[in-house]
Structure 1
Amino acid sequence: MSNSKKKLSLTSRIIIGMVAGIIVGSILRYGIGEAQWVDEYLTNGLFHIIGQIFITSLKMLVVPLVFVSLVVGTCSLSDPSKLGRLGGKAVGMYLITTAIAISLAIAAAMFVKPGEGVERQADTTYSAAEAPSLVDVVIGLFPDNPIQAMAEGNMLQVIVFALLFGIAVALVGESGQRIKSFFEDINEVIMKLVVILMNLAPYGVFALMAKLFVETGLETIGNLAKYFVLVLVVLFVHALVTYPILLRLLARVSPMMFLRKMRDAQIFGFTTASSNATLPITLETVTKRMGVSNSVGSFTVPLGATINMDGTAIMQGVATVFIAQVYGLDLTVADYLMVILTATLASVGTAGVPGVGLIMLAMVLQQVGLPVEGIGLIIGVDRLLDMTRTAVNITGDSMVSMVVARSEGDLDEDVFNDKDAGKKLEEL
């Protein structure tokens, strides 16, 4: 066979699967309607099974991948104090980008006024889960049972244990080298599993999108079109303007090459709507395709997947102004500054909590005296927005990884500038 008939790239196959899923889901919703066999055998049958198996398979790799790659990266550090620098730079960058994101969102919402003319429904209700206190968050960083932390997927605790374990491996000399070699071999096996799942992604993406568009009608978006479009626009501005500017200024690399290499991970993030589920793909992209060393990427990417909430912060900024306008309440400049501060710090404080986006929004609304019940107004369109903001979040994780790697001299520019770097990893 000649090379003229090359098989489609992974990105092309995933996009085809996504578009096909949207088309099939829309046909089933608007062409067939609420037929019982569609709901029983397709929506909650075939599509649900394939989609959930795909997401579960990705999540299956998250804990072993984070633990093993962090151990390998940490025990490879020649200077243990480097961990402190990495942590400080990464957390600082994540907080800065989150503050920029919510500031953009608030400014855009104040200009566009998405809540004007929207009628408040009388039966709108929402019960917010209680956010943990700062003391509980700090104590909760350290696992009393690391195996339980892994079983529960508590990523911050897994990260802390992996860092401590990696430091210990580096300090025990010859036996530590044997353990390091063992973990490096395990890491290669896990990365091969990631590649296998990447090649099955088009089928999982098709099922997820088909199910979503059977269940979510365009009429849901129509009721909140101004809010929906505004959040999308700010998300795109942050991803395509803010990140490239920071990347050019701080990492001194081509934003266009960065965005080109992010496509696969962004599509995974969009369809799974989970930074944690997409983490194996993000880490693969950052280290193999962008040239960030494993010692940096294995730390910054899992940390970002846990605490980086730029996309969520944008939703909170627009939603806060939207809810204030719907309820006819005026916020002062001090209130808006408090929103920015609360959302930025809450991105770390609520890390790892299920439903973190809405919990953070509830905290923000309470802080400035807005009714938490207003969250019920936007829940209908939040799923589609959640998909987009996840893609933005993982783009931010990767951008910060690039910046930190550049500052530490751990960025391989030859790999980054090679448009085909890491492409062979997509092939079984």
Structure 2
Amino acid sequence: MKSFLPGSLVTQIIVGLVFGVLLAAVWPEAGQAAGLLGDFFVDALKAVAPILVLILVCAAITNHKKGSQARMGPVVSLYVLATFSAALLAVAASFMFPVTLQLTGTPEVMNAPGGLGEVMRNILLKMVDNPVNAIAQANYIGILAWAIGFGLVLRHSNDTTKAFMSDLDKAITKIVGVIIRLAPIGIFGIVASTIAETGFGALVGYANLLALLIGCMVVMALVVNPLIVFLRIRQNPYPLVFTCLRESGITAFFMRSSAANIPVNMELCRRMNLDEETYSVTIPIGATINMAGAAITITVMTLAAVNTMGIEVDFFSALFLSIISAIAATGASGVAGGSLLLIPMAASLFGIDNATAMQVVGIGFIVGVLQDSAETGLNSSSDVLFTAAGSYKQGDPYPRKLPLEDADPYPQELQLEEIRP
């Protein structure tokens, strides 16, 4: 363990990925059994993430110093711009490379939102959820609302209470750091079990659809997002883009959950010396509303169904679809497959019945082995990307302050000697 802790986390994750593929190919039964390691890692992150968000946000507001200003407005603006840009990109790509689907049989009935009003209503009601239930259900909108409320009240508390909140902040950060060090083992288990159980044979029949979906996400990650960041910081954005993709996108790709990747993003922001008052709020908000990948999925799958049924789409209908997809994407849950259940709502704009739309959702779950992984990697990595870019102000040092390729990514207090009982 002492030799394992200081090593490069990314290198260890790649090693875990390779061994996971080899185990699934050579011994599928063992690969399925290794899924326990992946479940343990993901569940550990999911368990700590709600507490992490509650404590960090509450502590940041409680200990907020007069004169300091968290730059949350620019970050949220970048989230909204990126999500809408992703929907426009998906519309353009769907017109340039139209795909069709095989829609047959009766789909299984699933619980999907009935319309945009229902999505917005659910978001509003989540804000006033019981705090205990919000933590138990990982309702980050409710958690943020309660954390902000507690923080504002505790700002007027005595110094002992503020010091206690600061100590809680440090304690939960250490716990998160230890859990993240288990990422290589967790990724090994996830990859081994996924390939052993599903393989990739089922994806061959949907190669064109997958190519369109993942192609849009790659263009978003490597072209559109860097352009948005460049317009903000007026410097070469690619060192920051590649850092976020490498340090956050890889783990998000395999965990397929923006919510589970919140602790990873929080730790990355800390290593990049970003303002805790900013990222402790913008990262969980991003896991809820920064959904460029979800906007792409909703738009592409909807237009694929439209093409299959021979429905004509004019410019204004496509533009309206982009707006609706961007808004609906903010209501996608931060769990695997969360965006797929919003497809029927978008499909209803073109008169597509719910039964047909649910067949499209079923196809989405088939290709979700790759689609949802790429979607989550794009969404979660851009949370850090736009938090760093939004925190930048003309004249400030470049947001990426650490040479992350060479630096020890975790603080010295996580060394084994100091955490031993």
Range class of TM-score, shorter chain? 0.7 to 0.9
How many Å apart are 1:53 and its aligned residue? Answer: 0.8
The structural deviation recorded for 1:148 is: 2.4
Aligned: 1:379 with 2:365: yes
Q: How far does residue 8 in structure 1 lie from its aligned partner after superposition?
A: 4.6
- The 5 A counterparts of 1:6-405 are 8-28=7-27, 38=29, 42-43=31-32, 46-78=33-65, 86=72, 88-115=73-100, 118-124=101-107, 127-130=110-113, 132-143=118-129, 145-172=130-157, 175=158, 177-262=159-244, 263-288=246-271, 290-351=272-333, 355-370=337-352, 371-372=356-357, 373-405=359-391
Task: Decide whether the 8 Å contact of 2:256 with 2:335 is kept in 1.
Answer: no
Q: Which segment drifts farther, 232-241 or 190-199? A: 190-199
> Match for 1:22: what amino acid?
V
Distance 1:79 1:359 in 2: 44
Paired AA for residue 282 in structure 1: N
Distance 1:408 1:154, change over 3 A: farther
**Structure 1 letter corresponding to 2:381:** T
Q: Deviations over 1:186-240 (max 9, x none)?
A: 2222222222122221111111001111122322111000111121111111111
Distance of aligned partners of 1:292 and 1:81 in 2 relative to their CA distance in 1, 3 Å threshold: closer
Distance 1:347 1:82 in 2: 29
Is the 8 Å Cα contact of residues 194 and 280 (structure 1) preserved in structure 2? yes
Q: What whole-Å deviation, never above 9, does each CA across 1:95-134 have from its counterpart, x for those lacking one? A: 211110011111112111122xx54333555534235353
Structure 2 CA distance for partners of 1:47 and 1:104, relative to 1, 3 Å: same
- Structure 1 gaps of 5+ residues are 30-37
User: Does the 8 Å contact 1:76/1:295 carry over to 2?
Assistant: no
Aligned to 1:34: none
- Distance in 2 separating the partners of 1:366 and 1:418: 48
Count of matched residue pairs: 403
Please tell me whether the aligned partners of residues 415 and 421 of structure 1 are also in contact (alpha carbons under 8 angstroms).
no
CA distance in 1, matches of 2:132, 2:347: 36
For residues 292 and 267 of structure 1, do their structure 2 counterparts lie closer, same or farther at Cα, with a shift above 3 Å needed?
A: same
Question: C-alpha deviations, 1:384-421, integer Å up to 9, x for none?
Answer: 21111111001221122123212499x76486254455
Distance in 2 (alpha carbons) for counterparts of 1:414 and 1:226 = 38
- SS across alignment from 1:356: coil
Whole-angstrom distance in 1 between the partners of 2:296 and 2:55: 33
Contact 1:71 1:166 in 2 (8 A): yes
In 2, Cα distance between the equivalents of 1:332 and 1:98? 22
2-structure distance, mates of 1:81, 1:291: 15
Kindly state the Cα deviation for residue 76 of structure 1 after the two structures are TM-superposed.
3.5
**What is the TM-score of this pair, normalised by structure 2?**
0.87
Q: Write the letter of the residue equivalent to 1:256.
A: Y
CA distance in 2, matches of 1:320, 1:136: 22
- State how far apart, in whole Å, the 1-side matches of 2:63 and 2:153 are: 11
Within 1, Cα distance between the matches of 2:121 and 2:108?
Answer: 30
**Offset of 1:66 from its aligned partner?**
0.5
Residue 269 of structure 1: SS of its match in structure 2? Answer: helix
Any gaps of 5 or more consecutive residues in structure 2? 416-421
Of 220-229 and 239-248, more deviation after overlay is shown by 239-248
- Of 251-260 and 317-326, more deviation after overlay is shown by 251-260
C-alpha displacement of 1:352:
6.0
Counterparts of 2:111 and 2:96 in 1: how far apart (Å)? 28
The structure-2 alpha-carbon separation of the partners of 1:142 and 1:257, relative to structure 1 and needing over 3 Å to count, comes to same
- Name the structure 1 match of 2:419: none
CA 1:352–1:203 in 2, change beyond 3 Å: closer, same or farther? closer
Question: SS of 1:122's equivalent?
Answer: coil
Instruction: Tell me if structure 2 keeps the 8 A contact 1:257–1:417.
Output: no
Cα separation, partners in 2 of 1:376 and 1:126, compared to 1, 3 Å: farther
Contact 1:14 1:202 in 2 (8 A): yes
What secondary structure is seen at the aligned counterpart in 2 of 1:250? helix
TM-score (norm 1): 0.86
Per-residue deviation, residues 360-404 of structure 1 (Å, max 9, x unmatched): 222111122233133223321113211111110012211221232
- Percent identity reads 25
User: What is the alpha-carbon root mean square deviation over aligned residues?
Assistant: 2.8
Per the alignment, do residues 276 and 359 of structure 1 end up closer, same or farther by CA in structure 2, a change over 3 Å counting? same
Change (3 A) 1:353 1:51: closer
